[in-house]
Structure 1
C-alpha cells in the first residue's frame, strides 16, 4: 500500500471497496482458471449513482459496450460482475450474446433491474466465455462464505502479483464520508484510460452528472497518467458508484464542499493508479516523472507521458544507468512547444541538465539513486507555472518472459 498524506483525509486501515456503508463484495473459483479465484462481484444495497470512463481502443469488448449502454440509461448501477482469464473481446455476436446473458443472470440472481448490472471481463482476447462456468460463478453470489473484499480483489487479477485496494474518510456536512477502491492492472497499461479495471465506491450522495464530471477530471490526472508498456487494451474501465447511504446533502458543483470530494476522489484514484504502475509486469521500481515550469497543463502532461512511456528511459532506470540523454530525447519528441535551451533535468535530488546543457555530477551517486525502489525524474521546462505528474515502471527481462508465455 502506497502512503497517503493529505490534509482533512484519514486513511482507513486495511481499507477496501467495501469500506463505504452499503457495499459488499465477493469472489469464487468457477473454473476459468486452474485453481485461482476468477469470478467476482460488488453489490450495493441500493442503486448507486454511477460514472464511468472507458478505454480508447477502437475494439471495444462486448462487456464494455453492455456496461456503457446500461449506465447511459439511468446513470445507476447496483451490481458489478467481473470475470478474469477471458476478456470476451473480438468475439462477435456470440460475445455480445454472452455479455448480455451474463448481465441477465446476475440481475436475476441479485434481484436487481437488468440495467443496474455492470458486466466486465479481463484476460485473453479472442476467446468466447464458457457460459456454463459463468453461470456457476453467478449462482454462488448469494452464498455468505464467498463474500469478502479480499476475494473480490483476488478474483479480478490476471498477471498482477498483488491485489490493489485503498479507502479513505473525510467529513462533509458533518457526516463521515468513505471512498474505497479496488483495481487490477499489470500489463497493457498506457496513458489514455490505460488498461485496467478499477472500481471506486462511496457512501456519499452525489449528483450523477457531477460525479461524471469529477471522474473525467480526476482520470486525466491519475489513471491517464500511468504507463507500463505502451499498450491500451480493449476492455477496461473505471467505474465510480455513489449509493448515498450517508444521507448527506447531495454533492454537486454547487455544494460548498464539492472541491473536497473531488480532491478525495483524486487521492483514491492516484493511489490505485500508482499501485498499478508499481505492479507492472516484471517491474522492480515505481517511476515518477514530474514536469514543472510548463506553459500549460497540456504541455506538462504530454511531456510527462513521453518520458514515462520511453522504453529507453525505462530500461535505463532498470539498469540504474543515469543516462539523462534518454530523458531529454523523450522531452524533445513530445511534440510540444518547448525551448530546448531552457530545459533542466534532475534524477531526484541530483541535477544533471541545466538550460539544455549537461552538468557535472557523480555517476556513482546517480546509479545509487536509480537503484531505489521508487525513482523520481524531474523535468523543468522553465516556460510557465503549469505542472503534471506521470507514473510508470522500469522495463525488465521479466516483462518479456511473462508476455512471451502469456497464453501458455
Structure 2
C-alpha cells in the first residue's frame, strides 16, 4: 500500500512538472468570456492522424471571413493515398455563425482574397477562378492556353491597381528527354483583357521568380517568392536587394541565390516580411536605401573558444541570435496601428517598436498577447496559428485547431504582464 501511495504521488508530481510552462503561468486565471480570446464558431474537422485538415489561411472579403484548410486527398493524377493538397474553402458573413463550403469542380490549389474579391488558382489546368457570392459559384476569369508540352499550376495571385496579377508555372513534358526547364507566365487583368507581363529569364541558368503573394505600396506591386526573394513591378520587374545572411553563416555558399520569403504585409506605409525560413528574422524594408533591417534580433552571443578553421566545428561558429518572438513565424498582419506575427505559439505577438501609449516604443521588442487563452489547465487551443487578419476592432486568427477572435481593445491589458525581450540565462 505504501508503494502504491508513493507511485501515485510520483505520478502527480510528474504531471505537475510536465505541464507546459504556458499553462503553469496561467493556470490560476479564471476564463473571462468578456475579455481577450474567444473561440470562434468554426472548428475544422481534422484527419484521424491530426496531420492535415487544420486551418492554414484566412481572408477578409467584403462583409465575409473566408477560411482555407490544409486538406489532402487522393487524386487520379497522383495516387490512391491522400497525397494531393486539395484545400477546402469556407465563408461566413461577419457576425454570423453560419458557414458555407465554397466547392468547385476544378482542382483548386491556391486561394487568395481581399476587398476586390475571392480568387482561386488551379492545379495543372492553369485556370483562375473568382467566387460570385450572389450566385454561389466559382467563375473562370482566366484560362491559360492549352500547351501539349506542359501543364500549368497557379502559384500566386496578387492585386495591383484593383486588378488580379497571376503567376503560373509548369514544366515541359517531352517524350524525347526529361526536360525540367521551368516555364513561367505572369498575366495581369486590364480593361481590355489579360496582358502578359512575364519578365525575361534564362530558365536553364536560373529558377525564375514564382511569387506566392504580393502587396501594393506607393503605386508599385511587391511580390515574394519561395526561392527568389522580393520583386517590384511598376511597368517592369526589378529584383529587390537580397534579405541579409550573416557573414558567419558559413553553411551558406556566398554564391547561393536561394532566397525565400514566407510572408509580406504593409504596415504604416512600410513593407515587412518573414525571411528565408519560418525561424528566421522579421525584416523591415527601407525603400529609399533598398536595404533590410531586422526588427526582432535583439541579443547575439558568441563562443570565442570555437576553432573557426575546423571543418567539423559548429557551422554557426558559436553565434546564437535570440529573437523576441515565436520560434517559428508563419504570418504577419497589421490593423494600421499595430504589427502582429503569428507562429508556432498558439497566440500571436505584437511589435513594440512602434506601439506607442501606454508602453511607448521599445526597439525590436515583441510582446506575446496570451491573455486568457488558458485557465485552470484548460486552453482554448494549443497548436500553432498559421494566419490572421485584422477586421475593424477584431483580430481573426486561423489556428490549426479553430478560428480564434481577439478584441483589440483588450490588447493593452493582455500584454501588461509580458516582457518585450528574451531573457538569456
- Structure showing greater radius of gyration is 2
**Structure that is richer in strand per residue:** 2
Q: Which has the higher contact order (CA 8 A, sep 6+)?
A: 1
**Structure that is richer in helix per residue:** 1
